[in-house]
């Protein structure tokens, strides 16, 4: 008898399971149930469809050669039976069958299975706010919302847009709306947007978005949506905002109704609990994608990190095991990247905050550098932050912000963390070099070397946040700018003293040896050189501000 597999969910993980099963076992009978109309579409591409960068809806549902992945495609090309607009209603574990119902029909279907896969995805969070169901309030969680948003934009009926939530969905949607001419405000209840980043890196993103006209209100709660039939405003703890459209981007929760009703085990994050083969507590039922609780590779703790990349990898693992193979999904680092106007924003591993919460004694470095040789056209700065466990010298996390190619540096960091590499090993990594693609010492290698210098006591660093706190407290120290006069004239940091690096040796008498000196420049390479000059001249209280002016996340003096 052929292997019978029923898959509930036909967007990302489900179709991956189906396609891989048919490659491994062409005689299998695979049926995919999808509650919605659209199959195997790229949900992560929806913001770019809204902006017009992706021109047609079908592009999000097509293969790389332009073939639309519809029911006919799956039947003819994959030999997979797909029932879209069909809801799975009940799992009968004892009889190993699924009850389903087609849209608009009253009669139920019973589908028998040998193996069942739940790929039911996630649902957007709707906050308990007054008037949250008004017209022109969307989530951008599916194609239906994307089409409605595009229609409003095309009719020029959405000039003022409020996005509630400053996570990945909210930030990616912002660029699409600004591109369409909207005035956009992000309201975030936490002290920063993009909680996947540490505060100072997130603040650099906020400042970049503000430079594109986006208003960002952090530490602000939404109390109600205003309007009678359609939304016209948003009430917050800091006043009322006009709004022709509201995007709810608070996040998603795993869609586990079917699993819960079947008494499948759920984990502490609310997702379906699976082992590393993607099996649930029922050995004949697997679960993959956004409905599943994950495991953090570094801490071993349960986590919920819904990403399309993870869903596809899990789908492959589940399919191999269903077909009798032995494959494992070990967990995730939470690697993520998004485009914010012309900034690449990426991260992997633990943040500084989470590393400290898990008891690590860490050092951090913030290093700006070019993503390719500075003399090459198109060369751009990228700000890297590394989080390093001091006792073991292992890389624990990394973040990248800036117009340069931060994604590939985070990919290198993710591999280094997975392999348990130290910053000493990372600094010797044999990465590719050619001026159009990288610098001779790639910026992630430079960052690793800065971390080594800190660990070895060759340099004492201080963060921009610590400097700001000391300036606000009016601490008595010298904030030494060693840039050129022209750079200092263009933009200055508050309460800084200018002595260009080339003049430092001849002007040492101007600097009191009894005071602490914090040196900096544009990226703090010259700041480091200044610190070595001062130490060589007998100054014992010298520190370098991480990242220099480029990494300063606060207002400048001019």
Spatial distance between the Cα atoms of 280 and 256, rounded to a whole number of angstroms? 12
Nearest to 334 by CA among 288, 359, 299: 299
Residue-wise over 392-414: b if at least 16 C-beta within 10 A, else e?
Answer: ebbbbbbbbbbbbbbbbbbebbb
| Contact between 341 and 402 (Cβ < 8 Å) | no
Residue 395 to residues 37, 237, 352, 392, Cα–Cα distance (Å): 44, 40, 11, 9
| Contact between 373 and 437 (Cβ < 8 Å) | no
In sequence order, which residues have a C-beta less than 8 Å from that of residue 359 and are 6 or more positions away? none
Under DSSP, the state recorded for 269 is: T
Identify any residues that bridge with 177 across adjacent strands, giving them in sequence order: none
| Contact between 402 and 344 (Cβ < 8 Å) | yes
Spatial distance between the Cα atoms of 245 and 157, rounded to a whole number of angstroms? 9
pLDDT in tens, 491-508: 999 999 999 999 999 999
pLDDT in tens, 110-132: 999 999 999 999 999 999 999 99
Query: At residue 63, does pLDDT exceed 90?
Result: no
pLDDT in tens, 504-545: 999 999 999 999 999 999 999 999 999 999 999 999 999 999
Where are the extended beta strands (E) located within 38-164? 81-84, 86-92, 97-102, 108-112, 115-118, 122-124, 137-138, 160-164
Spatial distance between the Cα atoms of 229 and 312, rounded to a whole number of angstroms? 40
Q: What is the pTM of this model?
A: 0.93
Residue 383 to residues 222, 429, 466, 487, 546, Cα–Cα distance (Å): 32, 20, 18, 19, 11
In the chain, % of residues over pLDDT 70: 100
Residue owning tokens 């076992």: 25
Residue 501 to residues 157, 477, 498, 533, Cα–Cα distance (Å): 55, 19, 9, 9
Joined tokens for residue 7: 């898959």
Strand order in the sheet with 381-389: 336-340, 343-349, 395-402, 381-389, 362-370
Joined tokens for residue 150: 């595009």
Q: Please give the full DSSP string across 163-181, using - where no structure is assigned.
A: EE--SHHHHHHHHHHHHTT
Mean pLDDT within 312-320? 97
pLDDT band at 158; cut points 50, 70, 90: confident
In the chain, % of residues over pLDDT 90: 84
Under DSSP, the state recorded for 273 is: P
323 is catalytic: no
pLDDT band at 387; cut points 50, 70, 90: very high
64: three-class secondary structure by DSSP: coil
Residue owning tokens 């905002």: 241
Under DSSP, the state recorded for 234 is: E
| Contact between 348 and 410 (Cβ < 8 Å) | yes
Spatial distance between the Cα atoms of 363 and 352, rounded to a whole number of angstroms? 9
Spatial distance between the Cα atoms of 247 and 163, rounded to a whole number of angstroms? 5
Under DSSP, the state recorded for 59 is: G
Mean pLDDT within 147-166? 88
Q: What is the largest CA-CA distance in the chain?
A: 91
Query: At residue 458, does pLDDT exceed 80?
Result: yes
Under DSSP, the state recorded for 508 is: G
Mean pLDDT within 379-398? 97
| Mean pLDDT taken over the chain | 94
3-state secondary structure 9-32: CCCCHHHHHHHHHHHHCCCCEEEE
Looking only at the bridges linking them, the beta strands covering 542-545 and 517-520 are: parallel
pLDDT band at 233; cut points 50, 70, 90: very high
Query: At residue 472, does pLDDT exceed 80?
Result: yes
In sequence order, which residues have a C-beta less than 8 Å from that of residue 384 and are 6 or more positions away? 365, 366, 367, 368, 369, 398, 399, 400, 406, 409, 443, 444, 447
Residue 419 to residues 59, 395, 416, Cα–Cα distance (Å): 37, 10, 5
Report the phi/psi class of residue 359: left, alpha or beta, with left for phi > 0 and alpha for psi in -120 to 50: left
Length of the chain in terms of residues written = 558
Range in 34-38, 217-221, 521-525 with the lowest mean pLDDT: 34-38
Phi and psi (nearest 5°) for 423?
A: -70, -25
| Contact between 272 and 259 (Cβ < 8 Å) | yes
Domains for the chain: give ranges and CATH numbers: 4-41+52-122+253-322 (3.50.50.60), 137-250 (3.50.50.60), 342-455 (3.30.390.30), 461-551 (3.40.250.10)
pLDDT band at 66; cut points 50, 70, 90: confident
| Contact between 551 and 368 (Cβ < 8 Å) | yes
Out of 44, 232, 338, 521, pick the active-site residue: 44
Q: Give residue 558's pLDDT.
A: 60
C-beta neighbour count of 525 within 10 angstroms: 17
Query: At residue 38, does pLDDT exceed 90?
Result: no
pLDDT in tens, 238-283: 999 999 999 999 999 999 999 999 999 999 999 999 999 999 999 9
């Amino acid at each position: 008898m052929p292997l019978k597999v029923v898959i509930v969910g036909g967007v990302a993980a489900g179709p991956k399971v189906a396609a891989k099963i048919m490659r491994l076992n062409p005689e299998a009978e695979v049926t995919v149930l999808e509650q919605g109309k659209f199959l195997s579409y790229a949900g992560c591409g929806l913001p770019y469809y809204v902006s017009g960068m992706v021109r047609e809806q079908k592009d999000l549902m097509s293969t790389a050669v332009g073939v639309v992945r519809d029911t006919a495609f799956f039947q003819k090309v994959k030999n997979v039976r797909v029932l879209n607009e069909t809801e799975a209603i009940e799992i009968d574990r004892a009889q190993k069958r699924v009850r389903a119902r087609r849209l608009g029909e009253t009669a139920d279907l019973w589908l028998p299975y040998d193996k069942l896969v739940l790929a039911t995805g996630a649902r957007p969070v709707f906050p308990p706010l007054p008037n949250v169901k008004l017209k022109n309030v969307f989530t951008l969680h599916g194609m239906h919302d994307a089409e409605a948003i595009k229609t409003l934009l095309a009719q020029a009926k959405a000039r003022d847009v409020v996005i509630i939530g400053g996570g990945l969905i909210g930030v990616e949607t912002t660029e699409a709306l600004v591109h369409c001419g909207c005035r956009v405000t992000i309201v975030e209840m936490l002290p920063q947007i993009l909680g996947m980043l540490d505060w100072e890196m997130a603040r650099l993103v906020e400042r970049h978005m503000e430079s594109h006209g986006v208003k960002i209100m952090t530490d602000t709660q939404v109390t109600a949506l205003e309007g009678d039939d359609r939304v016209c405003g948003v009430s917050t703890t800091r006043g009322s905002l006009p709004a022709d459209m509201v995007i709810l981007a608070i996040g998603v929760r795993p869609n586990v109704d079917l699993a819960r009703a079947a008494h499948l085990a759920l984990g502490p994050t609310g997702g379906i609990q699976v082992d590393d083969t993607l099996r649930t507590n029922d050995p004949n039922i697997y679960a993959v994608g956004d409905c599943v609780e994950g495991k953090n590779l570094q801490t071993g703790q349960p986590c919920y990190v819904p990403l399309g990349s993870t869903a596809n990898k899990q789908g492959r693992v589940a399919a191999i095991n269903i077909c009798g193979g032995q494959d494992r999904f070990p967990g995730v680092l939470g690697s993520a990247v998004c485009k914010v106007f012309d900034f690449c924003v990426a991260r992997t591993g633990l943040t500084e905050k989470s590393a400290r919460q898990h008891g690590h004694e860490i050092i951090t470095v913030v290093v700006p550098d070019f993503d390719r040789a500075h003399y090459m056209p198109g060369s751009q700065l990228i700000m890297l932050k590394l989080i390093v466990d001091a006792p073991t010298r292992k890389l624990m996390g990394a973040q990248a912000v800036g117009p340069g190619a931060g994604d590939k540096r985070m990919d290198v960091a993710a591999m280094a963390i997975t392999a348990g590499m130290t910053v000493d090993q990372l600094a010797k990594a044999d990465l590719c070099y050619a001026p159009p693609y990288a610098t001779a010492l790639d910026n992630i290698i430079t960052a690793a070397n800065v971390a080594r210098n800190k660990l070895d006591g060759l340099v004492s660093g201080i963060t921009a946040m610590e400097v700001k706190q000391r300036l606000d407290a009016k601490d008595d120290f010298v904030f030494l700018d060693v840039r050129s006069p022209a750079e200092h004239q263009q933009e200055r940091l508050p309460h800084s003293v200018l002595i260009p690096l080339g003049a430092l040796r001849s002007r040492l008498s101007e600097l009191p040896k009894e005071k602490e000196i914090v040196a900096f420049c544009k990226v703090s390479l010259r700041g480091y050189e200044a610190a070595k000059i001062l130490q060589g001249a007998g100054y014992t209280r010298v520190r370098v501000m991480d990242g220099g002016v480029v990494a300063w996340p606060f207002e400048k003096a001019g």
